[in-house]
Amino acid sequence: MGTVGKAIFLLELFTAEEPEHGLSELARKAAFDKATTRRLLVSLATGGMVEQDAESRRYRLGAGLSRLARIREMHFPFLKVTVPVARGLAQETGETIHVSEYSAGALATVHVELSARANRVNVDVGQLLPLHGTASGIAFLAFSRPTVMEACMRRAMAAFTPYTVTAPDALMTAVQAAAARGYSRSDQGYEEGVSSVAAPILGVDGCAIGTLAIASPLSRIDDTIAEAHGRAAIDAAREISARLSGEPVAAALERAS
């Protein structure tokens, strides 16, 4: 791993649950030397990617990230397009909706609309979802270039629950089913007691760039409901894809009609 890779690795240690870290703690978690870790952090800090609390000396993600993310969002308004659609779908289905974007071999959760019900699935914004073993991942693979699928197969597939699909041919079957139906389904593949369906968000070239998923407690799901959720996910994801590909006039007319 190059120096830049290490710096990024450090950034990835900051999560929704653990948004602040001390120096030694980071060095331990990353398995880097303390001196190395510190040099990387100083470099990141001078670039605004992390900040150090003046008194506690702990590090957290920096404002430079917000800035760059906003520049990206200006040019490619993923959130702006996604949030209203996800919100509508959450209302409609009463379940938790999460939207993710492909990033560096995984799906990065960029928005979550939590179900209003007491018994609901919780997903954290910022969480990285593996391509195998989540409904989102399967849906993504089903609409990716073959190279993405191959790269995924080559890597070791971790089992998150006893139900996780880890066998290459089983994964292939699931992906093909998703490609045929237009949506994927995964029961307890990533977390026990959770059933999800997901549909791909497509880029201008027709390949998946992200996914939209509906996650429900298993107890509320049967095949009929899952099918309905799947179709709803497809519609919502299509809506997002269309708006991202900038069909301003056609879509506006369609929605108005």
Partner DNA sequence: AAACATGAGTTCAAATAATGAACCGACAAG
Partner DNA sequence: CTTGTCGGTTCATTATTTGAACTCATGTTT
Q: Which is nearer to DNA, 59 or 140 (CB)?
A: 59
Degrees, nearest 5: CA angle 49-50-52: 155
**Which of 104-112, 161-169, 189-197, 224-232 is the region at the interface with its own copies (rule: CB under 8 A)?**
104-112
Give the whole-angstrom CA distance, residue 135 versus residue 157: 15
- Tokens at 123, concatenated: 């997903």
Which of 60, 87, 155, 255: binder of its own copies (CB under 8 A)? 60
Which of 28, 33, 34, 47: binder of its own copies (CB under 8 A)? 47
Give the whole-angstrom CA distance, residue 183 versus residue 206: 15
Beta strand residue intervals within the chain, DSSP E? 20-21, 50-52, 59-61, 96-103, 106-113, 128-129, 184-187, 194-202, 208-217
Tell me which residues touch DNA (CB under 7 A).
Answer: 2-4, 6, 22-25, 32-36, 38-40, 52, 57-58
Q: Amino acid identity, residue 164?
A: T
Q: Which is nearer to DNA, 22 or 193 (CB)?
A: 22
Per CB under 8 A, does 4 bind its own copies? yes
Give the whole-angstrom CA distance, residue 163 versus residue 172: 16
Q: Are 192 and 161 in contact (CB under 8 A)?
A: yes
54 interacts with, out of DNA, its own copies, none, CB within 5 to 8 A per kind: its own copies
Q: Which is nearer to its own copies, 87 or 255 (CB)?
A: 87
The residues binding its own copies (CB under 8 A) are 2-5, 7-9, 11-12, 14-16, 19-20, 39-40, 43-49, 51, 54-55, 60-76, 78-79, 101-105, 108-111, 124-126, 128, 145, 205, 207, 210
